[in-house]
């Protein structure tokens, strides 16, 4: 399908943009994206930014044009993982994302701040508005995949993303603890309410593999990845180990060197997801 011109008067397609009750916003005129995937969780600290980064790295290594929209405005960490320190440039036409070594295009609040440590002390409505502008005002160009690194919870920003950005689906991130699983269940419920399909489940910190004997130790309890995937009818699930090497690569801005093989099944499910209609390249 050809890219949307956003001129409904000259178009015969029946899409969300023509629905007066739809909240979907068109992207920047210079943006043509095939698939948009939100990486979400009801719980903070489970590794959404890590999973987002690793999925993007795998996509770029597969030859796909890839981007990351960092919607965690008050706690942005994606630029640091990719070793990015330069600020995003803009003009009257829009904002240009920063490009990582692997070609991944990234926009994040930390790409706009003068100092990475500067706090963003905004109310929820302003934060949600900024995230939406990352979609409508950023010139992403032609992308095969755009990953959205979501903040925790089911508040203003997740609601804005789920309602206003055309999503191919979501990947949910959890850890083995029962408490985390209960809170992630809220994100499952939100995705269902918003009619956003769950493409995959990633259980982070699922186990620790002993470097001496090779035995896997489930430090935070038995894995619940398969159970959670069944609950939300996800197409695939993956288990990420507690891995000091990956954590160090993220801290050092070298996440593009990390092993992404554990995410192979979830990435394959993403590639089978629907394209986003009139917003295709």
pLDDT of residue 180: 76
End-to-end CA distance of the chain: 8
Parallel, antiparallel or unpaired: strands 216-217 and 208-209: antiparallel
Measured CA distances, 229 to 2, 163, 198 (Å): 34, 23, 9
User: Looking at residue 177, what is its pLDDT?
Assistant: 86
Displacement of CA 37 from its chain's centroid (Å): 6
pLDDT score at 92: 86
Dihedral angle of Cα 112, 115, 120, 121, to the nearest 10 degrees:
-140
Lateral strand order in the sheet of 237-239:
98-99, 105-107, 66-70, 141-149, 31-40, 169-174, 198-203, 237-239
Residue 25 φ/ψ, nearest 5 degrees: -105, 140
For the chain, list the domains and their CATH numbers: 27-279 (3.40.50.300)
The sign of the CA dihedral 62, 64, 65, 66 is: negative
**The pLDDT of residue 11:** 53
Integer Cα distance of 261 and 281 in angstroms: 28
pLDDT tens for the 281 residues of the chain, in order:
345 544 444 454 545 444 544 689 999 999 999 999 999 998 888 999 999 999 999 999 999 999 999 999 988 999 999 999 999 998 889 999 999 999 999 999 999 887 778 888 888 889 999 999 999 999 999 999 999 999 888 788 999 999 999 999 999 999 998 877 788 888 888 998 899 999 999 999 999 999 889 899 999 999 999 999 998 899 899 999 999 999 999 999 999 999 999 999 999 999 999 999 655 44
Predicted TM-score of the model (pTM): 0.88
Q: Of 151, 134, 171, 167, which is closest to residue 55 (Cα–Cα)?
A: 171
Q: How far apart are CA 199 and CA 60, in angstroms?
A: 19
pLDDT score, position 74: 87
State how far the Cα of 215 lies from the Cα of 238, in Å rounded to an integer: 18
- Which H helix or E strand runs over 67? strand 66-70
* Res 15: pLDDT: 54
Rg of the chain taking only CA atoms, in angstroms: 18
Predicted local confidence at residue 279, as pLDDT: 55
d(CA 236, CA 55): 14
Cα separation, 49 vs 150, whole angstroms: 8
> What is the 3-state composition of the chain as percent helix, strand, coil, each rounded to the nearest 5?
35, 20, 45
């Amino acid at each position: 399908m050809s890219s949307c011109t956003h001129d409904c008067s000259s178009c015969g397609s029946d899409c969300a943009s023509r629905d007066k009750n739809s909240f979907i916003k068109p992207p920047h005129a210079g943006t043509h994206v095939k698939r948009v995937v939100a990486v979400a969780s009801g719980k903070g600290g489970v590794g959404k930014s890590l999973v987002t980064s690793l999925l993007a790295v795998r996509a770029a290594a597969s030859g796909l044009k890839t981007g990351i929209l960092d919607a965690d405005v008050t706690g942005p960490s994606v630029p640091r993982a990719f070793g990015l320190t330069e600020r995003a440039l803009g003009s009257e036409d829009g904002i240009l994302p920063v490009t990582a070594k692997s070609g991944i295009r990234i926009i994040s609040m930390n790409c706009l701040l003068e100092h990475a440590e500067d706090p963003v002390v905004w109310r929820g409505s302003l934060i949600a508005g900024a995230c939406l502008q990352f979609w409508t005002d950023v010139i992403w160009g032609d992308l095969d995949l755009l990953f959205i690194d979501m903040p925790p919870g089911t508040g203003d920003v997740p609601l804005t993303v789920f309602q206003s950005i055309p999503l191919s689906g979501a990947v949910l991130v959890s850890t083995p603890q029962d408490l985390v699983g209960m809170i992630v269940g809220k994100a499952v419920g939100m995705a269902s309410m918003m009619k956003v399909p769950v493409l995959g489940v990633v259980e982070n910190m699922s186990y620790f593999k002993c470097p001496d004997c090779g035995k896997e130790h489930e430090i935070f309890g038995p894995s619940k990845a398969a159970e959670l995937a069944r609950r939300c009818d996800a197409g695939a699930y993956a288990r990420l180990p507690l891995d000091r090497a990956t954590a160090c690569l993220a801290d050092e801005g070298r996440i593009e060197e990390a092993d992404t093989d554990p995410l192979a099944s979830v990435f394959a499910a993403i590639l089978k997801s629907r394209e986003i209609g009139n917003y295709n390249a």
